[in-house]
Structure 1
Amino acid sequence: MIKSRLLMLAAALVATSGLTACADSFRANVTRFHNAVPPPEQGASFAILADDPKNNGSLEFAHYADVVAGRLTALGYSRASDPASARLVVRLGYDVDKGHERVVTSYSRRAMFGPDIYPVVVPGRYGPRVRYVVGYRDPFLWGSGWGWGWDDPFGRDVDSYTVYQSQLSLKIDKAGGEGGRVFEGTARAQSLSNKLTYLVPNLVDALFQDFPGKNGEEVKVTIAPEPRAKN
């Protein structure tokens, strides 16, 4: 019994440390398809339009379009001053759902055990004796009265939280008479946040990692957090 509790405690500590290490990272599933994307050295200029017409004229969309434009210009493409003169038309779409609840059972400190002083029966040289310990009483070991047991700092916790599914899509077409789609990409992520101001830039970063990527392949991308400023 005690051995299994110790193993459970060790597993909980490992899981907690793992979550702490990656809590700030952003993970996304990215799928890309492309066909003869014009290289930037050919002077390919671009214009960014909203994939959803209701976003046309939106200041929020303009902000996210600037984020995408920054990634494209970093690759060597140029943003057309007049969208009508652009050789490439980039259509940007993004969304986050209303979320769904998840219930998780974990082992963590619980206030119900209450930090207090409890008697523990321990073996002694001249027979069993009572010692008092400060900690968290485990009712599963103690039961309703005194008995053999140990001070267990961990117990079962049931938590619920909301998970949101976000998605960003990017389509690139040749403009005018050239016609034809040259790129389609989608980045999806699950997170505890539904804030587009946080989600969209991270999804853009994921989509543009190793752009244009391998055709028809879905990859998992992890975006490392920005370095913290030194005090």
Structure 2
Amino acid sequence: MKALLFLAIAVILAACGTPAIDANITAFYTPEVRTIASKTIAVRAQPASRDSSLEFKSYRPKIENKLRLVGFDIAKSTDDPDYVAYVSYGIDGKEQKSSTTSDPYFGSVGVGIGVGRAPFYGGVSRSYNTQTWEEYNRFISLDIVEGTSVGSDNPVRIYEGRVQSVGKCPTLAGVFDGVLDAMFENFPGSNGKTTFVSIPWDGSC
């Protein structure tokens, strides 16, 4: 019995000691997304003002690598790409959370009669501990459009995807790699559905 108790405690501690990024991915796409092999693609920020930011310049190679792994060829700056991937990202709101735990407080409830008698103990009250924290909604959005339709009023999209992850880390930079991994988990995913994944994380933010 004790061995089973220790095993259960070990499993719980192992789970608590393995941080992860939990995310949900929603994707919509056309049949063309299945025929992207060797098609060229360029990655651009949305809004366009972020294109020159140092933050996006650090994200772009990671996004390009993911697109390369699913079959695209990354276009050179002078190319006229078959597709353009527009990427937006950030923190979309926060929410305060709280959790209350209670523990029994054991104290003396009586003493025995006679010399040397030990006091009797029992649970006479409970102590309550409330913790509060803020959780942030981190997101990455990816729209892939046909290159020939860029600049038109109605660009032709072949893929729209959004990944959301809620957690205590208040910046996307701290969890970007994990959230991006979630987006490309089983890319392009289930069309018109939301799927949930858990990505291992080193816990740093």
Same-fold status (TM-score > 0.5)? yes
Match of 2:135 in 1: 163
Over 3 Å counting, the alpha-carbon distance change for 1:127 and 1:214 in structure 2 is farther
4+ runs of 1 displaced by more than 4 Å? Answer: 118-124
Q: Tell me if 1:192 matches 2:164.
A: no
Over 3 Å counting, the alpha-carbon distance change for 1:108 and 1:158 in structure 2 is same
Q: Tell me if 1:130 matches 2:118.
A: yes
Aligned-residue CA RMSD (Å): 3.4
- TM (normalized to structure 1)? 0.69
Match of 1:53 in 2: 48
* Other structure's SS at 2:33 match: coil
* Other structure's SS at 2:161 match: strand
Q: 1:54: how far off? A: 2.6
Selected match of 2:198 from 215, 222, 225: 222
CA distance, structure 1, for counterparts of residue 115 and residue 122 of structure 2: 16
The letter of the residue matching 1:167 is F
Query: Where is the strand percentage greater, Structure 1 or Structure 2?
Result: 2
* Other structure's SS at 1:129 match: coil
The percent of aligned pairs where both chains have the same amino acid is 22
Q: 1:38: how far off? A: 5.2
Selected match of 2:178 from 202, 206, 210: 202
Selected match of 1:71 from 53, 63, 66: 66
CA distance, structure 1, for counterparts of residue 14 and residue 168 of structure 2: 14
CA distance, structure 1, for counterparts of residue 182 and residue 40 of structure 2: 22
Q: Is the 8 A contact 2:178 2:200 kept in 1?
A: no
Q: Tell me if 1:96 matches 2:91.
A: yes
Q: 1:99: how far off? A: 2.5
Q: 1:194: how far off? A: 1.3
CA distance, structure 1, for counterparts of residue 110 and residue 78 of structure 2: 81
Q: Which has the larger radius of gyration?
A: 1
Taking the TM superposition and a 5 Å limit, the aligned residue runs for 1:17-28 are 17=12, 20-21=15-16, 23-28=18-23
Q: 1:37: how far off? A: 1.1
Q: Show CA shifts across 1:90-111 (max 9, x none).
A: 00000114523222112369xx
Match of 2:80 in 1: 85
Match of 1:175 in 2: 147
Q: More displaced, 214-223 or 79-88?
A: 79-88
Q: Is the 8 A contact 1:121 1:129 kept in 2?
A: no
Q: Gapped runs of 5+ residues in structure 1?
A: 1-9, 132-146, 227-231
Q: Is the 8 A contact 1:162 1:192 kept in 2?
A: yes
The letter of the residue matching 1:46 is I
- TM (normalized to structure 2)? 0.77
Q: How many residue pairs get matched?
A: 189
The letter of the residue matching 1:37 is V
CA distance, structure 1, for counterparts of residue 101 and residue 14 of structure 2: 13
Q: More displaced, 210-219 or 191-200?
A: 191-200
The letter of the residue matching 1:158 is T
Q: 1:64: how far off? A: 1.2
Selected match of 1:211 from 184, 187, 192: 187
